[in-house]
Chain A
Amino acid sequence: MTTVEKIVELIRETSTSIPVDVEKAVKAALKKESKGSSAEVILKTILENCALARKASTPLCQDTGTLTFFVDTKLKRKVSVEIIKKAAAIATARGYLRKNCIDSITGKSYDDNCCEGAPVVHYVDKRGVTLIMKGGGSENMSRQYSLPDSTLSAGRDLQGVRKCLLDAVQKTLGYGCAPGILGVCIGGDRATGYEVAKEQLLRELSDKNPDKTLSELEKRVLSEANSLGIGPMGLGGATTLLGVKIASRPRVPASFFVTIAYMCWAARRRTIEV
């Protein structure tokens, strides 16, 4: 298989097949919802949808999102931006991607999903090629807080961070296609915050944060967020979030940002070796 075909296959699989850990989390969530509730109906529909999309090899969500690639620096020549663009154009023609790339100034559609800056490609010190597809509904719900925040009585400590995260979940309600996943960065500058927060979405839902403080915060926020009762698609229920993944970065004395990348249940991500 050529490198282009390998990347096309990566896009196809990512778009049409939900990650195993996410599917498992939705199945576990289903058991917590009461029989005959709207939450149960919605989670069942999500699972049936994922099975159908996988079988038929069609996009599991029509918003195939922003394509962000993380490529091992050592593969820079083999998996160049040009190769990725070729693959994205082929994947679009084959119906694995929606025509989803609009020029922000002219409003014109780039019908092959390729132009300067799309797909997004980062070269990093991490093995293989990773793709994450994040739709607009969830991206619109990502947000950044600056501590202290007087409206939340949130100070510059972990309690303050916790308040921001719970506030974000409550404000999002069902608009980000709950149950969702929070990728979080504590600290950093504004741009680093969003970058690191999004990278947290690449973590397996079942992994354990090696930092004990952050691991405890992840567990606490997950359980408290689920007790808000927002539920799948915001219609009420026991499952509002499937996971919370937190990292931290240093900050300058004057700033303290808390950045949240909100991901919908259709958390499409995959890594391959090339």
Chain B
Amino acid sequence: MIELKYPFDEKTVRSLKVGDAVAITGRIYTGRDKLHKFFSDGGNLEVDFRDGALYHCGPVIVGEGSESKPYVVKAAGPTTSVRENPYEPDFIAKTGVRLIIGKGGMDKNTLDAMKRYGAVYIQAVGGAAAISAAAVKKVAGVSHLKEFGAAEALWHFDVVDFRGVVAMDSHGESLFEKVEISSREKLNKMI
């Protein structure tokens, strides 16, 4: 298990290879469909993603963010990442984000952007909502809550040992692509 601590510097991120198991500690920000569209339309993000992590996640959160009723994360598994393919290369280029966390992988353009700017894609375990929620030790804040709604807002999570596997690296390698090609070859031989 490789431990990654925020801020995630370029050298460390570029040293990661597909198949590496990682445990992330520090700040990560959630963002999914509405956030990507907003950014692509020229919207200003309230947080700095440089050397940071973006988590494709629509969490279940209770509480009001007040002292008596703080936000508590009930479930926080990953959502499918492919929907952000059209936006992600530009997001990586402009924000300097280093870790994209989600499920299912992303396309060639995103992989190219990761190679060019030094970023990786980390597969979280789909469906493992309880364990992902338990890794979130604190909800440090939230942005765009009113415009995007709770499931789409940009939540500021402080996590400890949030686990995943590097599935796309900054050397142009993608486990998803490899598995797709090799499994299709095997299938063609079988049928």
Binding site for B on A (CB under 8 A): 36-38, 41-42, 45-46, 48-49, 52-53, 56, 58-63, 95, 98, 135, 137, 152-154, 162-163, 166-167, 170, 173-175, 177, 224, 227-231, 233-236, 264-266
Q: Tell me whether B146 is interfacial, beta carbon within 8 Å.
A: no
Q: Tell me whether B21 is interfacial, beta carbon within 8 Å.
A: yes
In the complex with contacts A137-B126, A235-B165, A61-B19 CB distance below 8 A: no
Contact of B131 among A52, A163, A173, A266 (CB under 8 A): A52
Beyond known contacts A170-B187, A229-B186: 18 more, CB 8 A cutoff:
A38-B19, A38-B21, A42-B165, A49-B125, A49-B131, A59-B74, A59-B130, A60-B129, A63-B77, A173-B176, A173-B179, A174-B104, A175-B104, A227-B190, A228-B183, A233-B123, A233-B125, A234-B105
CB-nearest residue of chain A relative to B132? A49
In the complex with contacts A38-B19, A58-B74, A177-B126, A95-B183 CB distance below 8 A: no
Instruction: Report whether A60 and B127 are in contact in the complex, using a CB–CB cutoff of 8 Å.
Output: yes
Instruction: Report whether B131 and A229 are in contact in the complex, using a CB–CB cutoff of 8 Å.
Output: no
Q: Tell me whether B128 is interfacial, beta carbon within 8 Å.
A: yes
Instruction: Report whether A38 and B191 are in contact in the complex, using a CB–CB cutoff of 8 Å.
Output: no
For A42, the chain B residues whose CB sits under 8 A away are 125, 165
Q: Tell me whether B75 is interfacial, beta carbon within 8 Å.
A: yes
For A152, the chain B residues whose CB sits under 8 A away are 191
Contact of B127 among A36, A52, A63, A228 (CB under 8 A): A63
A-contacting residues, B74-95, CB 8 Å: 74-77, 80
Q: Tell me whether B145 is interfacial, beta carbon within 8 Å.
A: no
- Residue from A36, A53, A163 whose CB has the most chain B CB atoms within 10 Å: A53
For B19, the chain A residues whose CB sits under 8 A away are 37-38, 235
Q: In the complex the two chains form, what is the Cα distance from A48 to B175 in whole Å?
A: 24
For A153, the chain B residues whose CB sits under 8 A away are 191
Q: In the complex the two chains form, what is the Cα distance from A264 to B175 in whole Å?
A: 20
CB distance from A155 to the nearest CB of B (A): 12
CB distance from B127 to the nearest CB of A (A): 4
Per-position 1/0 for B149-186, Cβ under 8 A of A: 00000000000000101010000000110111011101
CB-nearest residue of chain A relative to B76? A62
Instruction: Report whether A62 and B104 are in contact in the complex, using a CB–CB cutoff of 8 Å.
Output: no
A-contacting residues, B128-153, CB 8 Å: 128-131, 133-134
Binding site for A on B (CB under 8 A): 19, 21, 58-60, 62, 74-77, 80, 103-105, 123, 125-131, 133-134, 163, 165, 167, 175-176, 178-180, 182-184, 186-187, 190-191
For B58, the chain A residues whose CB sits under 8 A away are 62
For A58, the chain B residues whose CB sits under 8 A away are 74-75, 129-130, 133
Instruction: Report whether B165 and A41 are in contact in the complex, using a CB–CB cutoff of 8 Å.
Output: yes
For A265, the chain B residues whose CB sits under 8 A away are 127
CB distance from B148 to the nearest CB of A (A): 15
CB-nearest residue of chain A relative to B180? A173
Query: What 3 A-B pairs are tightest by C-beta distance, nearest first?
Result: A62-B75, A49-B128, A53-B130
- Residue from A37, A49, A63 whose CB has the most chain B CB atoms within 10 Å: A49
For B21, the chain A residues whose CB sits under 8 A away are 36, 38, 41
CB-nearest residue of chain A relative to B130? A53
Contact of A235 among B76, B131, B134, B167 (CB under 8 A): B167
For A52, the chain B residues whose CB sits under 8 A away are 130-131, 134
Instruction: Report whether A235 and B175 are in contact in the complex, using a CB–CB cutoff of 8 Å.
Output: yes
CB distance from B3 to the nearest CB of A (A): 14
Instruction: Report whether A61 and B127 are in contact in the complex, using a CB–CB cutoff of 8 Å.
Output: yes
Instruction: Report whether A166 and B163 are in contact in the complex, using a CB–CB cutoff of 8 Å.
Output: no
CB-nearest residue of chain A relative to B182? A229
CB-nearest residue of chain B relative to A176? B126
Q: In the complex the two chains form, what is the Cα distance from A240 to B182 in whole Å?
A: 14
Contact of B179 among A166, A227, A236 (CB under 8 A): A236
